[in-house]
Amino acid sequence: MIEKIKVYGKQKANGKVHISGAKNAALPLLAAALLSSDGMRLKNVPPLTDVTTMLALLENLGITYQVFKDSHYANSIKLKTDALENFTAPYEIVKKMRASALVLGPLLSRLGRCRVSLPGGCAIGVRPIDLHLKGMEALGATIELRDGYVHASAPEGLRGAEFTFPIVTVTGTENVVMAAVLANGTTVLKNAAREPEVVDLANCLNKMGANISGHGTETVVIHGVTSLRSTEHTVVPDRIEAGTYAIAAGITNGRIDLLGGDFRKLLPSFLDKMELAGLSFSSIDNGLRVESSGKILPIDVDTEPFPGYPTDLQAQCMAMLCLADGKSNIRENIWENRFMHVAELMRMGADISVAGTHAQVRGVKHLTAAPVMATDLRASFSLILAALAADGDTVIDRVYHLDRGYCCVKEKFADCGIAIERIK
């Protein structure tokens, strides 16, 4: 398996990037197909290993599918869902990806029972699914944890209820929303996640015949219906990919046109911070142009749920701030173990100190190539960004993380005049 990337230093990005569909939207949308026996067709699905893992899980449950290549960066997937027979999501598949837990709500809602392995994925924190389970219990499910599996049952069906999430959880909100759409009565979810991917899921479910309102706000109301129908839905653009390539323009003193969506609406806090850091943004047809001012300015960043600064763009931002003219502060408020990329950036000459959830980044004049190792999905791209601006050529190991959330990186960089190479 090819697990390394060689990045040639001191490159400048100048070109355009076609932003793919959002992984974090595609995965819950694929899980939502379980809610109907009539099937579904999803468009703008990114060709990623996490999508392949979710499809393998659905296939294990009895779903069949066809993949159609619409472009180099996007697929359409047609799902046939009438023969849902299995109610077990096995450890062998679920261990590869935490988002596998998203089948819990749909299986419980449609079949009245499920057996789902406790999930795996990136090692950026505990990320328990206890809030998912508490939400299911509020809807009348019986939950038991046994032998590494969640055993959930609702033989008489789920019933509407009011539930308040003690903290904002994106996948928890999505899971409970999917469980509630076929419940008997009305469900009110408070302190719900407001992320665009949650909104995209609710919009798709409504097209299938669900009755959901308030998505995109802190209070989501779901009036249960008896069944859902087939639909065709286009996955929302990946705001995290767009933000990542925007940072690529900043750290290389370049210019990139981000094509494929209204990124001002998808990344409000991120764009505000990047403008303070010296990037400029202008609207273009079907996208946004990002351009460096030639100087990276220090900023303070606090990660927060949407519409705040995304935790999934924290590592990439840190890489850029390593070259800022001054001292920056980053506070990670979402995951408790998301500074593992710091040690790798320091191997390249970065000056960073960490105290708990706070990182202080003191800008240096230059970074230097060094062998480094990716520790999780977003950290893998932060090392690529740092390497693009470094003196010398950098080899990044364990980049299988990258393929979970970024497709066609080599090709997309080539469209910006940047060369990276996959090596063994």
Distance of CA 261 to the CA centre of its chain: 16
Task: Name the packing angle between helices 23-32 and 196-207 (round to 10°).
Answer: 30
Is 269's pLDDT higher than 90? Answer: yes
Q: How far apart are CA 113 and CA 75, in angstroms?
A: 32
Among 184, 182, 169, 173, CA closest to 215 = 173
**Per-residue confidence (pLDDT) for residue 424, from 0 to 100:** 85
Is 282's pLDDT higher than 50? Answer: yes
**Per-residue confidence (pLDDT) for residue 122, from 0 to 100:** 40
- What does DSSP assign to residue 82? T
Q: First and final CA of the chain: distance in angstroms?
A: 7
pLDDT-derived band at 1, boundaries 50, 70, 90: low
What six digits make up the tokens of 395? 């080899």
Whole-number mean pLDDT of the chain? 95
**Per-residue confidence (pLDDT) for residue 121, from 0 to 100:** 43
**Per-residue pLDDT tens over the stretch 38-66:** 999 999 999 999 999 999 999 999 999 99
Can you give the pTM of this predicted structure? 0.95
Strands 186-190 and 219-223: antiparallel
Q: Worst-scoring range by mean pLDDT, 81-90, 121-130, 175-184?
A: 121-130
Percent of the chain with pLDDT over 90: 89
If you average pLDDT over residues 279-292, what whole number do you get?
97
Q: Please list the active-site residues.
A: 122
Is 161's pLDDT higher than 80? Answer: yes
pLDDT-derived band at 118, boundaries 50, 70, 90: confident
Place of tokens 């959901």: 212
pLDDT-derived band at 375, boundaries 50, 70, 90: confident
What domains does the chain contain, in order, with CATH numbers?
Answer: 4-19+238-423 (3.65.10.10), 23-234 (3.65.10.10)
Q: How far apart are CA 224 and CA 315, in angstroms?
A: 40
**Per-residue confidence (pLDDT) for residue 377, from 0 to 100:** 87
**Per-residue pLDDT tens over the stretch 393-413:** 999 999 888 988 999 999 999
**Per-residue confidence (pLDDT) for residue 123, from 0 to 100:** 41
